[in-house]
Amino acid sequence: MRRFVAVAFIALAACSSGRDVEGDVLMEPGQRFAPTELTVSAGDSVVFANTSKETHTVTAYGEDLPDEAGYFASGGADSESEARDSLSDGLVDPGEIFEVTFDDPGTYKYFCIPHESSGMKGTIIVE
């Protein structure tokens, strides 16, 4: 039991500067998406990975979506207002990912609900 506690402590210390998880767009320490703009091809999937120690959401701005496109948000909400109303459902924990497949060309703007006012926003361009 003592040994288990010691191992757990080391694991926490190793993560102090952020979480080791891979993705195409990172939710980085400092409340930002990186890169803030990413261009992909229609049909591609984009993995949003939370490499910070805070929880975040990946939430589409509903009004800015291309005409044909379906709405997307971590947590599976069907609209921006639903996503905002069910914030806790959409939270992506540190070390977790959220994946979206973009079938329709266009520009997709999105944000993190808790950190929208801090400017935590991004854009996916689908060609």
- Residues near Cu ion, by CB under 5 A: 56, 112, 115, 120
Shortest reach from residue 115's CB to Cu ion, in Å: 3
Taking the least distance from each CB to Cu ion, the nearer of 104 and 109 is 109
Taking the least distance from each CB to Cu ion, the nearer of 38 and 120 is 120
> What single letter denotes the amino acid at residue 113?
I
What are the start-end ranges of the E strands in the chain? Answer: 25-28, 32-34, 37-40, 44-50, 59-60, 97-102, 106-111, 121-126
Distant-in-sequence, close-in-space partners of 54: CB < 8 Å, separation ≥ 6: 29, 31, 94, 114, 115
Shortest reach from residue 81's CB to Cu ion, in Å: 19
Backbone angles phi, psi at 76, to 5 degrees: 85, 15
Taking the least distance from each CB to Cu ion, the nearer of 49 and 120 is 120
